[in-house]
Chain A
Amino acid sequence: MLDNFLTGTATLFGDPFTIGIFIFGVIGGMLFGAIPGVSMLTLAAILLPFTADLSPSQGVMLFAVIYCTGTYGGAITAILFNIPGAPENAPTAFDGYPMTQKGMAGKAVGAAVLCSAVGGIASAIVMMSATEPLAQWAIMNIGPPEIFALVFFGLAVASSVGGRTIWKGWLSVLFGLLIATIGQDPVGGINRFNFGFSDLAAGIAFVPAILGFFAVSEIFVQAEKKVSGNYSAPKFSVDFPTFFELWSHKIAVVRSILVGFFCGILPGIGATLAAFMGYGEAVRWSKNKSEFGKGKLEGVISSETANNAATGAAMIPLLALGLPGGALTAMMVAVFQMHDLEPGPLVFYNSPDLIWVVFAGMFYANLSILFIGLLETKTILYLLKIPFQFLAPMILMLASIGAYISRGLVLDVIVMFAAGVIGFLLRRSGYSIPGIVLGLILGKIGEQNFAQGMQMVHYDLGTYFSRPICTILVIAGALTLLKSLHSAFFAKQVNS
């Protein structure tokens, strides 16, 4: 492993052009992750056509680096503006944004820097040592029935987070799943719910929907407060957490690394579930559960460690099975295809150089979060001083361009603003925006794998449940659901 890593490092830093691409990926990922309204997905979408001119290893390495640093960068907007840069940063906002409102933005961002780096580096090391054996295990044991079971489990977890009631949590997830059914069905290619718009045949794209539900709806909420005189600018501080503050959360960090890595390795789910579960586990093990959601540092630490720990692991299903774990890893599939390559087990044998350049790139990208992240953070905190009247139209414009650029459709801009309006109204009523987005992302993967899985087991539930991983995950999901339903009907309620 060490030899391969050193070879990858030498290839990465042996060519000035490759170094340039690496630095561009590190800074670009952080900046686009951290600028409200745009995200690493926007940058990746803009860059996708240009990767045709790069070598396959440079192209995939660039996207992998953007994935690592963008995942960290998205935490900054989640903390400062309540706008997660990506769905995996959504739980960071649960406690990060309340910390900003309390004037502890610096502490939250500082914790995000350190924990993202720690989680990412740990994940990169495990990824390098365990990828091949894990890939071989996954090839033998994970198929469409298991992926559907994973999606079911992921949605059951997502429904228990965010909404004011279990019903609102489920309605949010189901609404996301419904949006995901718009477009062609994954088996027969039949157009569904396109309401006469031919552009809708391709379905609702992730990027405009995510931008609309998170960024635009947040702008609308702030604008509403501003015109009604209830707006208060976020408080500003550069008070980073002390070493002892972080050391006191060492168990949360280790737990989140483990949760993040094992969630990240699950194909089709990746960092988003990792962040939710990392946060959920922190709440479950905490003695002061009621403090979560009100600005608790441990919430930011758990979520950010877990989502960066998932970035390395998320590369495993992509490289071993060709299954993307999210929107950005899906774009990596496109990079492979542009170079007439298919991600999958053969890449390990046909292009080992590519694999190790990517691994080395991800390791050093996580390392650079520690150094560049701290420097950049102080600059980004000054974003809070920009007047909202200036920032809001800028965010709306960047979001509009980001939504348009990914597919070149004006419809995507309309979808984004419509999602913003819907998100604004649903937020007012206590629904979960992360739940909607997770439903949207997992809906297509879930339906496709359900159909394939059912065909594989010849529609026989006995055969389906004879697969142990399916049984465990479906039971775990069903128990999560039953526990929520039990509390909905029988548990005491607290006042709002």
Chain B
Amino acid sequence: MGNLKNSDLVEVAFWLLIAAIFFSVSFNFNQPIEIYKFGATGWPRVILILIGLAALGNLYHSLKNGSKIQKGRVGASEAPDQVNYTSVVDYLKTAWILLIPLLYAISLKPVGFYFGTPFFISLVMLAWGERRVKFILLNTLLIYSLLIILFMFILNAPLPQGNVSPFYDFSAFMLKMKTQFDQLL
């Protein structure tokens, strides 16, 4: 196994898996195009084959040199952005940091921006390690107000309203308030 680490094997497996999945999916749109010889699959398949080859090249590099940085790489960090985990709790904390924004994004369609955002801001601060309740509440209020003033009142930006009651009703209430404010001016 030489200088190879488990993480190197995971990396190569990841890239080969991506290439294999996308290559198999490419059969779903493997239709000829009358005016173009290589069709819709030609370009992506070349990319997928190159990904497979580059992944194997990366494996070869790891086997030979371990995690050493290749000489002459411009702009590459000698120490990538890594933090050493010491316990399962560290992994859970990072997973939580990554999951919250994704959950917020997925919930935007049913819940909407106006209702979901204050909860998201508070949860982000909690996940980031902030424990002062007053700090969280005040900053949530401040950030939410700034966003509403800038995007709703000044820029008139259309933001997701949600499609499930009572969240949709809350968005409708906010927009009604905005209309009344506009009428006052």
Tell me if chain B binds chain A.
yes
Question: CB within 8 Å of B: which residues of A?
Answer: 46, 91, 94, 160-171, 174-175, 177-178, 181, 185, 187-188, 190-193, 195, 216, 220-221, 223-228, 230, 279-280, 283, 289, 292-293, 388-390, 392-394, 396-398, 400-401, 404-405, 408, 410, 413-414, 416-418, 420-421, 424, 427-430, 432, 434, 447, 450-451, 454-455, 459, 487-488, 491-496
Tally inter-chain residue pairs, CB-CB below 8 A.
241
Chief secondary structure at chain A's binding surface: helix
List 19 interface pairs A-B (beta carbons < 8 Å), by A numbering: A160-B73, A163-B76, A165-B69, A167-B58, A168-B58, A216-B101, A221-B81, A292-B75, A390-B139, A392-B124, A393-B124, A401-B147, A410-B160, A413-B105, A421-B98, A424-B98, A454-B36, A488-B70, A491-B70
Smallest Cβ-Cβ distance to A174: which chain B residue: B51
- Interface members, chain B 64-80 (any A CB < 8 Å): 65, 67-80
Complex Cα gap A165–B61 (Å): 8
Complex Cα gap A293–B113 (Å): 40
**B80 cross-chain contacts in A, Cβ below 8 A:** 164, 427-430
Give B144 Cβ to nearest chain A Cβ, in Å.
9
Give B35 Cβ to nearest chain A Cβ, in Å.
7
Take A192-B29, A413-B108 as given contacts and tell me if A496 and B78 are in contact as well, using a CB distance cutoff of 8 Å: yes
**B78 cross-chain contacts in A, Cβ below 8 A:** 293, 496
Take A174-B54, A421-B98 as given contacts and tell me if A455 and B36 are in contact as well, using a CB distance cutoff of 8 Å: yes
Smallest Cβ-Cβ distance to A97: which chain B residue: B77
**A283 cross-chain contacts in B, Cβ below 8 A:** 74
Most buried by A among B25, B55, B129: B129
Q: Is the CB of A491 within 8 A of B72?
A: yes
**A495 cross-chain contacts in B, Cβ below 8 A:** 68-69
Q: Chain B: interface residue count, which band? A: 35 or more
Q: Is the CB of B38 within 8 A of A451?
A: yes
Smallest Cβ-Cβ distance to B55: which chain A residue: A171
Give A374 Cβ to nearest chain B Cβ, in Å.
26
**B26 cross-chain contacts in A, Cβ below 8 A:** 192-193
B57 within 8 A of A: yes
B174 within 8 A of A: no
Chief secondary structure at chain B's binding surface: helix
Q: Is the CB of B61 within 8 A of A488?
A: yes
B159 within 8 A of A: yes
Scan B121-133; emit 1 where CB is below 8 A from any A CB, else 0.
1001101111000
Complex Cα gap A447–B33 (Å): 15
Q: Is the CB of A181 within 8 A of B33?
A: no
B137 within 8 A of A: no
Smallest Cβ-Cβ distance to A282: which chain B residue: B74
B47 within 8 A of A: yes
B17 within 8 A of A: no
**B44 cross-chain contacts in A, Cβ below 8 A:** 178, 181, 192-193
**A223 cross-chain contacts in B, Cβ below 8 A:** 97, 127-128
Complex Cα gap A174–B48 (Å): 8
**B98 cross-chain contacts in A, Cβ below 8 A:** 220, 420-421, 424
**A429 cross-chain contacts in B, Cβ below 8 A:** 7, 11, 80
Q: Is the CB of A171 within 8 A of B93?
A: no
Complex Cα gap A219–B38 (Å): 41
B185 within 8 A of A: no
**B48 cross-chain contacts in A, Cβ below 8 A:** 178
Give A396 Cβ to nearest chain B Cβ, in Å.
6
Give B102 Cβ to nearest chain A Cβ, in Å.
5
Q: Name the one of A91, A165, A417 contacting B101, with C-beta atoms under 8 angstroms.
A: A417
